[in-house]
Structure formats: structure tokens, C-alpha cells
């Protein structure tokens, strides 16, 4: 049993005592400085844990992984030049650009209204190879979905 003076009345108390038997102060063996140091240490541990869980991958954002038209060339499926792709839930792939989140894959589209995600159709690019065929085809979003699904398993 280690003894220490009470932070209030200076009576000798066990360092693990919940209250001082002399004056009744809570945590008599713990000074304000020790409480602050303990809190700072806890915050540092939390910060390290968050950093490790975020992946820290180049091109990553706190909300996903950056993607752009320059990476995909003609296979880029959107009318916007860049954004980020992320995985929500188990496998909902979301593309975000200009502050708007769009549901990309079928499972995300089924819950889009619940989470406030926009439909992908307004920014989904028509396939130039299908022009003149009488049918409007879209550029495949499969590469974006595949990239998003890789983020689901991190």
C-alpha cells in the first residue's frame, strides 16, 4: 500500500483510495496535474488508433479514396471530373463530388433515400461508343464499384 498526502487536507492516504478518510475529497491521491496528464495520454492513444484505422493511404480522404477522370480516361463513367469513392455499410458504394453523395451500386441505390444520397443518373455519362444506335447506353460504373468494394474489406 503506497501512501501519499491528500490533495486537499494533506492527511496520508492510500494512492488508490476513492475518498479521503479525513476530509472526504474524491480521489485524494490524484492531483489535478496527474488527471490532466492522464487525459492527454488517453487523447494521444485515441489519435493513434484513429490514424491507424483510417488507412493513411495516399489519395485517401477522411470520407473515401480520391478518384478522377485522369486515372480512367474514356472509361470514366461520370460527367464530373473528380470525386471520392467510399464504402458505407457492408457494401454500399457511394461516389461524392461537389459536396453531393451519389449511390453508385444497386445495394446503395436501394437505401439512397434513407441516407440522403442522390441518384447517380444525373452525373452518369452516356457511352460515346453507343451514339447513333438509337439506344442510350451508359459508361460502365463497374471500375468504380470494384474500387469501392476494396475499401469495404479494409
The pLDDT tens digits of the residues spanning 32-57 come to: 666 555 555 555 566 544 444 444 44
Mean pLDDT score across all residues of the chain: 81
Mean pLDDT of 109-130: 92
Taking CA atoms, 74 is separated from 34, 95, 147, in Å, by 60, 18, 17
Name which of 67, 48, 46 is nearest 151 in CA terms: 67
For residue 1, what pLDDT band results from cuts at 50, 70 and 90? low
Q: What does the angle CA 77 – CA 145 – CA 79 come to, to the nearest 5 degrees? A: 20
- pTM strictly above 0.75: no
Q: Is the pLDDT of residue 60 over 50?
A: no
Q: Minimal CA–CA distance to 15: which of 25, 6, 3? A: 3
The predicted model gives 65-79 an average pLDDT of: 95
What is the 8-class DSSP label of residue 78? B
Judged against a pLDDT cut of 50, whether residue 14 lies above it is answered with: yes
Reported confidence tier of residue 68, pLDDT bands at 50, 70, 90: very high
Q: Does residue 21 carry a pLDDT above 50?
A: yes
Amino acid at each position: 500500500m503506497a501512501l501519499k498526502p491528500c490533495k486537499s487536507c494533506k492527511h496520508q492516504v492510500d494512492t488508490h483510495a476513492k475518498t479521503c478518510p479525513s476530509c472526504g475529497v474524491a480521489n485524494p491521491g490524484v492531483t489535478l496535474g496527474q488527471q490532466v496528464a492522464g487525459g492527454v495520454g488517453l487523447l494521444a492513444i485515441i489519435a493513434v488508433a484513429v490514424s491507424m484505422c483510417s488507412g493513411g493511404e495516399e489519395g485517401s480522404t477522411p470520407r473515401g479514396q480520391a478518384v478522377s477522370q485522369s486515372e480512367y480516361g474514356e472509361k470514366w463513367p461520370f460527367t464530373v471530373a473528380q470525386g471520392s469513392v467510399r464504402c458505407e455499410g457492408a457494401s454500399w458504394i457511394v461516389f461524392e463530388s461537389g459536396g453531393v453523395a451519389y449511390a453508385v451500386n444497386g445495394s446503395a441505390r436501394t437505401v439512397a433515400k434513407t441516407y440522403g444520397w442522390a441518384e447517380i443518373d444525373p452525373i452518369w455519362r452516356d457511352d460515346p461508343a453507343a451514339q447513333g444506335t438509337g439506344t442510350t447506353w451508359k459508361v460502365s460504373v463497374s471500375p468504380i464499384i470494384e474500387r469501392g468494394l476494396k475499401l469495404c474489406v479494409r
